[in-house]
Amino acid sequence: MHQQTSQALDNITAPPVASKPDLDRPGLLIMDVDSTLIDEEVIDLLGMAAGVGERITTITDHAMCGELDFAGSLKARVKLLRGLPVSAFDKVYAEVHFTRGTIDLINELHRHGWKVGVVSGGFHDIVDRLARQAHIDHWLANRLGTAHGVLTGEVIGQIVTKETKLHALRQWSADDGIDPDQIVAVGDGANDIPMIRAARLGIAFCAKPAVRREADRAITQRDLMEVVRILNE
């Protein structure tokens, strides 16, 4: 028992924050999707389906490290998907996996009266299905242009950026009447930093170094139930 506890703590870095959200009061957890809620990066899978996987993965890596403007990098990657049949989304959805602990985490938070939201630089074609499957309360993602059954290579409407993620945190917490001290944000990429900073408890999840530097805590193994362990400390 002591060994298991020690191993769990080894997967969570940084000292406890002075005051953190109370699991027994209503709260809001907001998470990124790609490489956080799920193990994969959806746009990389779409790139593989379109035969441009390596080119898209390279851009994704630079964007997640904060080396490229996210909106510009997304437009560049989506442009490479032009002509991909929309049926590819069915194939990609079958290939993605919820990160270990995802469903248990969401169920546990709901049991305590919390709300869960996800905000993604990915696409509604996948995120809508994930949100319904996991019983997520709020979600937001990008929309891709289509015509005659194929992707046009364009993003429709406003691109979900780091500013959009921050706005979603504030909007959903206000809509749900959540105390600002009861907000947790979890993400892995540079575009998650503003919402991680704004949350009462910001958690870097298997994240890039720049994200870990800005977070209150960092989880280093791919198990989202570590979030509950932090809240229960």
Supply 133's token pair. Answer: 């499957």
Q: In whole angstroms, give the CA distance from residue 70 to residue 64.
A: 8
CB atoms within 10 A of CB 132: 10
Q: Are strands 201-205 and 183-187 parallel, antiparallel or unpaired?
A: parallel
Q: Is the dihedral of CA 191, 197, 198, 201 positive or negative?
A: positive
Q: In whole angstroms, give the CA distance from residue 28 to residue 155.
A: 29
Supply 108's token pair. Answer: 């546990």
| Residue with the two structure tokens 């298997």 | 206
Catalytic-residue membership of 179 = no
Q: Which of 10, 22, 24, 32 is catalytic?
A: 32
Angle CA 129–201–115, to nearest 5: 35
Q: Which of 34, 44, 188, 223 is catalytic?
A: 34
Q: In whole angstroms, give the CA distance from residue 106 to residue 37.
A: 10
Does residue 165 come out as left (phi exceeding 0), alpha (psi in the -120 to 50 range) or beta? alpha
Collapsed DSSP state (helix, strand, coil) of residue 50: helix
- Residues with a catalytic annotation lie at 32, 34
